Amino acid sequence: MTIQFWVVTVMVVTVVLAVAIVVIWRMRVGALVRRTERLEERVRQRTEALQMVTEELHFLALHDELTALINQRGFWQHADKLEMKARQGETMFGLLLVDLDHFKWINDQHGHRAGDEVLRHAAGFLQRLCDEKDYVCRYGGEEFVALVVDTSPDALRELAEHIRAQLEANPYTDRGEEIAFTVSLGIAYWLGGKDNVEAMFRRADRALYEAKETRNKWLMWNPAMDYKPSEVSAKSD
């Protein structure tokens, strides 16, 4: 064998080895790229799952489990933002406090499951009867609150009567049996100046207290409601 043969042989072997190295390198790079893509996909899926869980937890933290309405915490978050807009002159709003009449009797007579369904039924009506931009909340027990945006005192009174009449006219039906119920409502309107939602809530609660004396009616707060008989008597003396 000549030197030329060995040189050619070495060159061929070198080329073959080089090609083999390139092929193996590309295969390893391809495998690494595919593995990276799989890892990125897993990370993306887990990130999306985590985001969904976070959003679900956030929703549950601000919504009532039974009715899916805003809960008390969510109500005050929206109330604070709405109050700020009102102070800036961007909106005028009112507050409706809605309470189911004789709800304990419904639970005692028909059971707590039926009572829960009546609450869901009432919540659905309240949500539909209010505007999309309004905030309807289950505040606790059989008590609901609605923050009614861009409204007037007259419009609030009309809405309160509409809610009262519609809920009275649409009883909940349980397996063919109707469970009739009524609601009482207290109304308060944003007074401007240093007014705030907490004060509005107290005024609406005062009006509701008086409405509950006869039930199935609404009352809008007025200053006379804040004067107790004892106070009036003391002043007259």
Residue 131 or residue 20, greater confidence: 131
Which residues are the active-site residues?
142
Q: What is the pLDDT of residues 149-165, one digit of tens each?
A: 999 999 999 999 999 99
175's CB contacts (< 8 A; 6+ apart) are none
Structure tokens at 79: 């109330």
- In CATH terms, the fold of domain 72-229 is Alpha-Beta Plaits (3.30.70)
Highest average pLDDT, of 5-19, 31-45, 133-147, comes from: 133-147
Q: What is the pTM of this model?
A: 0.75
Q: How confident is the prediction for the chain on average, in pLDDT? A: 86
Q: What is the pLDDT of residues 52-103, one digit of tens each?
A: 656 566 666 889 999 999 999 999 999 999 999 999 988 899 999 999 999 9
